[in-house]
Amino acid sequence: MFVQIRKWIVTEGNSLKIIERFSKKPGQGPTMLEQREGFIGRELLVKNVRRGEEEVVMIIRWESEDAWKAWEKSPEHIAGHKAKIKEHGGKPPKPDFVISMEHGNYTVVE
């Protein structure tokens, strides 16, 4: 199994904005990600880090690294990012409420 982890530190009261961006909407069918071959699941976690900041972690599980790479290179995934960049004047969007963002990819060994 292959796992991708993304972590955002956001200003207090803004974790819901990250969660809403990546959560399934009521009544919505499976997302493109959920329909992707090799996709296993996704979790969103929230933690109050300290006064003024919150932490949001998203964990995405894949059957293999190859399945994840296929998603990253897929026309649907690329088009989604291009649309966001176009919306924000040619620059990747980084909302003011995001203090920092980290990500990592891991192979599950046990």
Could you give all domains of the chain from N- to C-terminal order, each with its CATH number? 2-107 (3.30.70.100)
Which pLDDT score is estimated for 97?
A: 94
What pLDDT, on a 0 to 100 scale, did the predictor assign at position 85? 60
This prediction's pTM:
0.82
pLDDT for res 67: 96
Q: What is the pLDDT of residue 8?
A: 95
54-82 pLDDT, tens digit per residue, is: 999 999 999 999 999 999 999 888 887 66
Element (H, E) at 17: helix 15-22
pLDDT of residue 71: 93
Tell me the pLDDT of the chain (110 aa) as tens digits. 999 999 999 999 999 999 988 887 777 778 888 889 999 999 999 998 788 899 999 999 999 999 999 999 998 888 876 666 656 566 666 789 999 999 999 999 98
